[in-house]
Each structure stands twice: as C-alpha cells, then as structure tokens.
A and B are shown apart, each in its own frame.
Chain A
Amino acid sequence: MTTLYTPDHEWLKIEGDVATIGITDYAQEQLGDVVFVELPKVGRAVKKAEAAAVVESVKAASDVYAPITGEVLEINETLGTEPGLVNSDAGGAAWFFKLKIADKAELEGLMDEAAYKAHTA
C-alpha cells in the first residue's frame, strides 16, 4: 500500500485501483475543531480538483477537493455522527471516501511522505 499527498493537505492510500482519501493531521490542526463533515454520494463520478466534500469547523467551512478522477465507492458514515474523529485520527479512522481510480497516471503528480513533510515544513 502506498500513501500519497496533495498540496491541499489530503492523503490517498492506494490499494489496487481503489484510493482511500482523507485530510492530513496538518490540515485538521489548521481547521480547528471539526463539527460537521459533508460527504459525496456513493456512485458519484468526481473529477480531479472538483469539490467532493466539505469539512466545517466552529469558525468556517472548507472544501475538500477530489485529488484524482474516479467514482465514489464508499463513504465514512461515522463522520456524520462523530465529526471530531477528524481531529483525533485524521490519518486513520477519519477517512472521508474511497474512489475507484479512473486514471492511474493522475497519481504521478502527487507527493510521497517525504515531499509532503517538506511541503508543510
């Protein structure tokens, strides 16, 4: 399994042709206390860079952009009742959605962990 990152602070865990997507610990720290998460509908076809989810803190709403093109296979329903999970376990239990990867070539532009660490340093 490979983990990749976007400059917009999303992570993707790649298993075969499925990408599990969430936001990074750095992103949740910037957002502050998360109080609501809106996820895409299962089956929706999302294009790279399209707003696919919304994460709201006490202060503001922020879009989460689809890092790659694909079809939504599954969403993390737990975030509907426990949005605070994004603060406590951004890189794990608080995954947002899973995409069926449409074009693996889109993964080539993403960062590995070392590059992402440098990006947020």
Chain B
Amino acid sequence: MLAGDDTQSLKRTPLYALHLSRGGKMVPFAGYDMPVQYTPGVLKEHLHTRSAAGLFDVSHMGQVELRAKSGKLEDAARALEALIPQDIVALPPGRQRYAQFTNESGGILDDLMVTNLGNRLFLVVNAACKAEDEAHLRAHLSDTCDITALTDRALIALQGPKAEAALAKFCADVTTMKFMDVAELTLEGLPCIVSRSGYTGEDGFEISVPADGAEKLATALLDNPDVLPIGLGARDSLRLEAGLCLYGHDIDTTTTPVEAALSWSIQKSRRSGGARPGGFPGASAILSQLDGGTTRLRVGLRPEGRAPVRENASLFTSADSAEPIGAVTSGGFGPSLNAPVAMGYLPAALAVRDTVVFAEVRGQRLPLRVAAMPFVPNTYKR
C-alpha cells in the first residue's frame, strides 16, 4: 500500500464528523482526509454554488497571525513586505489583499491572503505549504514580529449568490461588507474573522472560527435549505471557471507572478519608480519582467471540442509541429459553461486572445483557443 493511501496517518479537520454525516466521500488531500464530493456529486454541487450557496470546509489551510514586537502594525507590514511583492503598508484596516511569497529567482513559494486586522496581520496560506510558510516567516521575521499559527481555528467558506442572505441571519453587519473587506464579528456566540472573498468567482465569505465551535456554526448555516455542503471536486471546477490559480499546478517555484499573469496583484509602490521598489526575494527578476515583459504567460484556453484537456497535456503551434511550446497546468470540464476549460503557459507572442493552439491528448492533436479569464464572469460585491 502506498503511503498516500494510509488514511490512518491523515489529519482531520474539526468538521470531519459533519462530512461523514452528510455523506461526504473522503479522499486524502494535502495530508488531510477531506470530502471530494457529497451525495449530489461534483456537477450539481458546482451548479448549486453558482445558483444558491455552497459551504466549503477549508480548515486544512493555514491561518497565521503576525504582530509587531513594537506594537505598531506598520512594522509588521514592513517586515512582511520583505517576503512578498505586495504593498501591505498601505493596506487599510479591515481590508484583505492577494499576495505571493517569492523566492530568490522570482518563483512563487506559495500564494496567500493578507489581512490588516488593525492591531495585527492575518494570513491564510495553502495547506500543502503551511509548514514551510511558517518556517519561512520565523526565519525572516522573528526579530520584528511575533508569529502565531492559529491551529485552534477552522475555516469555512460560504460562496454563492445566496451567501449574503444566509450569513446575514447570524449577523446583519455582513451586508455592508464589500469584496475583500474583513471584519471581526460574533456568529452564534463565536468570535469569527469574516472576509468577503473566496475561491469560486462568486460573491461570498470566508469565516475563521474557533475549532470547537466550527461544527455548531457550519450546522447552523446548513440548516438553511439554500446552503449545501460542497466538496473539493466542485471547489476545483469553480476556481478553474473563475480563472484562479491552484498552487502546485498553475503556479510554483518555477513560475514568477508576472509569468503567471498575476502582475495586477503587484502594486505600483513596489515596482520600479514606486515608493518602496523591490526589497522582496527575486525582486530583480520580477521588476525586470514587469518593465520589459516575459517570455511566457499563463493564459485561459477553451478546447474547441467536447473533450476535456487536462493538466500536463503538451501544447503545440499546429496539428503536426514536433516541439511543444507549452503545457496545460489545469484543465477539466466547466459545469456552468457546459464545456471544457483549461489554463496553461504559452510563449508571450502567442498569449493573444483567439490564437489557436493544439494539445496532445491520447495521441491526437485537439485545437484550443486562447480565451480571456475568468471564463465565467465573477459576481464580487464591489
């Protein structure tokens, strides 16, 4: 038996019992025993999230707090800016920002969300990277910051057009929040950190809740017939349709934020000519790509036929060219589009909308068209 099949060694989130009671089909994911789907299946769960509301257990993700030893939040913000190319100094209290930890060559160690909670920074990182991320933070920021992994908290995402109404039953304050706002709110008597964001392209929330109250809150949310539990399978198809990157697939240590088409996430203040240019790992590579362009780019791809084109499929300029020019990094079926969708890397010259390239699938060359992302328009509350 493979080590990965040994479910005995898998960790469980505080919602494990709830997953089983709701018919979750459990699979190993990033060291956790997680629900890939429930009884309705990936297709229906995906469509339900886009038409009503889905509840996702994302407690496997890492939650970390940074507090400046000086007591001044700006010192923690400046310290974190030494590890990421984003502007955190100018991030207002109650706001969240998408960021990446970079390495010395400009590659991405992990992608994360950074929130200014007024007296501290709150970070949410990927499950598979959380140990390395915490070590990275301790190695570089221990002089200036107290770093606390919030291992006693669960994380629940509530996503979809009916998410606001579902959450407002517990706290009316959420209705005034806009996309990427964050507030510390009491839900079901529990002290929660609520952000208006997610990983589906839909309006919605992510709720950090004390682990011992997570099942109570999730159960209360699921008492609403508009809210169904959604597994990792639909989480993946939803984020793919939304054009969002999955770490370890679309981005990793070999891709820079610029190549990954994430330049929008690097504020002017950290670029050449900005108030605090560079000063993060890989700055020379990333700033020169921001100024002079890059040789390859992540693009959206729409297969012209019905066959899904999946991760690792090689891409070619024509139906018979010998040398691959790139590869698909995520691909599958988009239930809302009722069509296959993919993303991957192409030479920058070909990363132009409506360019046709070919993927090799089971010995055949299938045409795909370069397409704008998101594939499904997002519905964020701006």
- Chain A: residues with CB nearer than 8 A to chain B? 32-33, 35-36, 38, 54, 56-61, 80, 83
Contacts and interface: CB of A to CB of B under 8 A. Distances in A.
B307 A32 contact: no
Contact of A58 (B307, B335, B362): B335
A54 B44 CA distance: 22
B306 A58 contact: no
B42 interface: yes
Nearest to B338: A35
Given A32-B37, A58-B332, A59-B332, 13 more contacts: A32-B41, A36-B307, A36-B308, A38-B362, A56-B307, A56-B308, A57-B42, A58-B42, A58-B233, A58-B333, A58-B335, A59-B36, A59-B233
Nearest to A32: B41
Contacts of A60: 310
Contacts of B307: 36, 38, 56
Contacts of B233: 32, 58-59
Interface in B35-77: 36-37, 41-44, 46
Given A32-B37, A33-B42, A58 B237 contact: yes
B362 A35 contact: no
A61 B41 contact: no
Interface residues of B, number: 19
Nearest 5 A/B pairs, CB to CB: A33-B43, A35-B333, A58-B42, A58-B333, A32-B41
Contacts of B41: 32-33
Tell me which of A56, A60, A83 has the highest count of chain B C-beta atoms within 10 A of its own C-beta: A56
B37 A36 contact: no
A117 to B, nearest CB: 22
21 contacts: A32-B37, A33-B41, A35-B43, A35-B308, A35-B333, A35-B340, A36-B306, A36-B340, A38-B307, A56-B308, A57-B42, A58-B42, A58-B43, A58-B233, A58-B234, A58-B332, A58-B335, A59-B36, A59-B42, A59-B233, A60-B310
Contact of A54 (B36, B335, B362): B362
Contacts of A80: 306
Q: What does DSSP make chain B's interface, helix, strand, loop or mixed? A: mixed
Contacts of A35: 43, 306, 308, 333, 340
Interface in B6-59: 36-37, 41-44, 46
Interface in B183-229: none
Contacts of B362: 38, 54
A59 B306 CA distance: 15
B46 A58 contact: yes
Nearest to A63: B362
Contacts of A32: 37, 41-43, 233
Contacts of B332: 58-59
A80 B307 CA distance: 10
Nearest to B46: A58
Given A36-B308, A61-B308, A56 B37 contact: no
Interface in B331-369: 332-333, 335, 340, 362
A30 to B, nearest CB: 10
Nearest to B333: A35
A83 B43 CA distance: 13
A98 B233 CA distance: 33
Contacts of A57: 42, 333
A51 to B, nearest CB: 8
B333 A56 contact: yes
Contacts of B333: 35-36, 56-58
Interface in B97-122: none
Contacts of B42: 32-33, 57-59
